[in-house]
């Protein structure tokens, strides 16, 4: 029987176990530059089979939150080299989650104070995280976006390709394309946010076009075996909405099956909320989604996420429901989560007040088992 703690090769990346650190926005990289504190944080969690970094914008236009690290300046890439070196020296594997937030942004974060971009000029009923003039920080409503012009879309695909190459050059073992949680790629996918009438809007095939162009560009640049993708079929996060997600995401995974990707990362249910959440008039069938992917020839590892604990994660892998299980908040408070899960040891409680912004408190000061009195 396969165990959560067994090794696994995903694409070109060999993992020591199947426990994954999910991407977690922590807002501790001023000026979008990873720093020594970030390196310590990720190094502490290097016993994970795989670390997926916090969402990392591919350009300033893709930035939606203050103090998140980027992939688009020489200083940021040097900072990431410090992080990847630290994780590798500790025996870990790390991929970066490539992010373009689209409309989930604010004018103050955009180049020249311009409008955020989106498939259509529809404002998201969502919040973003900003720094105030007095140095404090907090959440604010997103700004009104503008619709991307047809001739701009290819440039964003090129931004993804360029950022993927930069990530590999910075020492990452691979990349995860963020196509979930109501950000730019997900905005193209969903009829609630995509009202375009050109070849990027309307039909499921058209709404999937941008995602597949990004996948094509990245896999040609760095190889499919170092490329992965994250999707969230029913989450309402950041005002994501579609009345019939089953055929949409079935189409998506069937097209992804053409690529020998490292893994497909599925958020089951509402991100950070109920796993049985549904959009439309029927529950989403995740088993059918995986079956459709396999029937189309897909061979990537299948990663699940959202509210898993030790028992459900072990069962998910043992039953064949998943190859990998990603944990989010549990990794915030437990740098040695793999050991704690393996030995069924008590877990540290997370301090929600320190999730976003700040310094070492609530970031690198959670004790590992050997430091618990």
Active site residues: 183
Of 159, 215, 168, which Cα lies nearest the Cα of 12?
Answer: 168
Helices 209-222 and 245-256: crossing angle, nearest 10°? 20
The answer to whether 48 and 92 are in contact (CB under 8 A) is yes
Q: Quote the CA–CA distance of 67 and 130 in Å, as a whole number.
A: 8
What is the CA angle 364-366-368, rounded to 5?
110
Of 220, 205, 217, 299, which Cα lies nearest the Cα of 258?
Answer: 299
Q: Which residues contact 365 (CB under 8 A, 6 or more apart)?
A: none
The token duo for 354 is 């320190």
Residue 186 DSSP one-character state: H
CA 7 to chain centre: 22
Q: Quote the CA–CA distance of 185 and 217 in Å, as a whole number.
A: 14
CA 267 to chain centre: 10
Q: Quote the CA–CA distance of 105 and 365 in Å, as a whole number.
A: 30
């Amino acid at each position: 029987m396969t165990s959560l703690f067994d090794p696994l090769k995903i694409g070109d990346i060999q993992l020591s176990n199947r426990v994954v650190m999910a991407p977690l926005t922590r807002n501790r990289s001023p000026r979008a530059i990873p720093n020594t504190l970030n390196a310590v944080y990720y190094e502490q969690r290097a016993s994970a089979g795989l670390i997926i970094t916090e969402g990392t914008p591919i350009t300033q236009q893709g930035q939606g939150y203050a103090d998140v690290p980027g992939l688009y300046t020489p200083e940021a890439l040097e900072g990431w080299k410090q992080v990847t070196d630290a994780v590798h020296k500790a025996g870990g594997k790390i991929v970066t989650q490539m992010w373009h937030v689209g409309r989930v942004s604010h004018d103050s974060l955009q180049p020249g104070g311009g409008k955020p971009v989106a498939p259509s000029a529809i404002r998201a009923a969502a919040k973003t995280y900003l720094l105030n003039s007095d140095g404090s920080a907090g959440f604010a409503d997103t700004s009104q976006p503008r619709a991307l012009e047809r001739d701009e879309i290819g440039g964003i695909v090129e931004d993804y390709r360029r950022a993927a190459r930069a990530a590999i050059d910075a020492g990452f073992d691979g990349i995860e394309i963020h196509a979930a949680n109501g950000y730019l790629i997900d905005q193209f996918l969903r009829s609630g946010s995509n009202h375009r009438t050109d070849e990027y809007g309307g039909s499921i095939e058209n709404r999937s076009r941008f995602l597949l162009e990004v996948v094509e560009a990245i896999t040609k640049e760095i190889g499919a075996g170092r490329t992965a993708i994250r999707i969230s079929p029913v989450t309402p996060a950041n005002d994501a909405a579609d009345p019939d997600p089953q055929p949409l995401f079935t189409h998506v995974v069937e097209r992804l099956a053409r690529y020998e990707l490292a893994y497909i990362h599925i958020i089951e249910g509402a991100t950070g909320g109920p796993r049985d959440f549904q959009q439309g008039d029927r529950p989403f069938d995740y088993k059918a989604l995986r079956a459709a992917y396999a029937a189309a020839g897909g061979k990537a590892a299948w990663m699940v996420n959202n509210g898993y604990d030790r028992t459900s994660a072990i069962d998910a892998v043992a039953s064949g429901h998943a190859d990998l299980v990603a944990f989010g908040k549990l990794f915030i408070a437990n740098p040695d989560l793999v050991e704690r899960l393996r030995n069924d040891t008590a877990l540290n409680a997370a301090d929600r007040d320190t999730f976003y912004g700040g310094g070492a408190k609530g970031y690198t000061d959670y004790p590992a088992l050997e430091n618990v009195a």
